[in-house]
Amino acid sequence: MAESNFVDYVKIYCRSGKGGRGSAHFRREKYIPKGGPDGGNGGQGGNVYLRGNRNYWTLLHLKFERHIFATNGEGGSAKRSSGKDGEDRIIEVPCGTVVYDADTGEYICDVTEDGQQVLLLKGGRGGLGNWNFKTSTNQAPRYAQPGEPAEERKVILQLKLLADVGLVGFPNAGKSTLLSVVSAAKPQIANYPFTTLEPNLGIVGYRDNRSFVMADIPGIIEGASEGKGLGLRFLRHIERNSLLLFMIPADSGDIRKEYEILHNELVKYNPDLLTKSRVMAITKSDMLDDELVKALSEELPEGIPSVFISSITGYGIAELKDILWKELNKETFQDAERIIHKNLDLATILFDDDELFPVDDNEFFPVDDNDDDIWDDEYEEYDWDDDETPRQ
Residue 66 backbone zone (phi > 0: left; psi -120 to 50: alpha; other: beta): alpha
Helices (H), the chain: 60-63, 175-182, 231-234, 255-269, 290-297, 317-328, 361-364
| pLDDT of res. 86 | 94
Rounded CA separation 173/165 (Å): 16
| pLDDT of res. 194 | 52
User: What band does 380 get if pLDDT is binned at 50, 70 and 90?
Assistant: low
Q: Which of 163, 173, 277 is nearest to 220 (CA)?
A: 173
Mean pLDDT lowest for which of 123-132, 142-151, 302-311, 379-388? Answer: 379-388
| pLDDT of res. 375 | 41
DSSP, collapsed to helix, strand or coil, labels residue 156 as strand
End-to-end CA distance of the chain: 67
Rounded CA separation 205/276 (Å): 22
Cα→Cα distances 1→4, 211, 247, Å: 9, 34, 29
| pLDDT of res. 58 | 82
pTM exceeds 0.75, yes or no: no
Q: Computed over its alpha carbons, how large is the radius of gyration of the chain?
A: 30
Res. 94: pLDDT tops 70: yes
Helices (H), 58-209: 60-63, 175-182
CB of 11 closer than 8 Å to CB of 156: yes
Question: Model confidence over 11-45: pLDDT tens digits?
Answer: 999 999 999 999 998 888 888 877 889 889 999 99
| pLDDT of res. 232 | 54
Res. 354: pLDDT tops 80: no
| Greater pLDDT, 377 or 152 | 152
51 Cβ partners below 8 Å, 6+ apart? 90, 91, 92, 93, 111, 115, 116, 117, 118
| pLDDT of res. 149 | 94
- What is the DSSP annotation of 22-34? PP--B--BTTBTT
Q: Which of 319, 338, 13, 6 is nearest to 152 (CA)?
A: 13
Domains and CATH numbers, the chain: 1-161+349-385 (2.70.210.12), 165-333 (3.40.50.300)
User: What band does 357 get if pLDDT is binned at 50, 70 and 90?
Assistant: very low
| Greater pLDDT, 263 or 379 | 263
* CB count in 10 Å sphere of residue 152: 15
Res. 336: pLDDT tops 70: no
Stretch 64-71: mean pLDDT, rounded?
91
Question: Model confidence over 267-324: pLDDT tens digits?
Answer: 777 777 777 888 888 888 887 788 888 888 887 887 888 889 888 888 888 998 998 8
- What is the DSSP annotation of 169-206? --TTSSHHHHHHHHSS------SSTT---S-EEEEEE-
Res. 193: pLDDT tops 70: no
| Greater pLDDT, 163 or 340 | 163
Q: Which of 118, 114, 102, 106 is nearest to 50 (CA)?
A: 118
Question: Model confidence over 103-132: pLDDT tens digits?
Answer: 888 899 889 889 999 999 999 999 999 888
| pLDDT of res. 93 | 92
| pLDDT of res. 287 | 78
Stretch 190-217: mean pLDDT, rounded?
73
Stretch 343-366: mean pLDDT, rounded?
51
User: What band does 91 get if pLDDT is binned at 50, 70 and 90?
Assistant: very high
Averaged pLDDT of the chain: 78
Res. 352: pLDDT tops 50: no
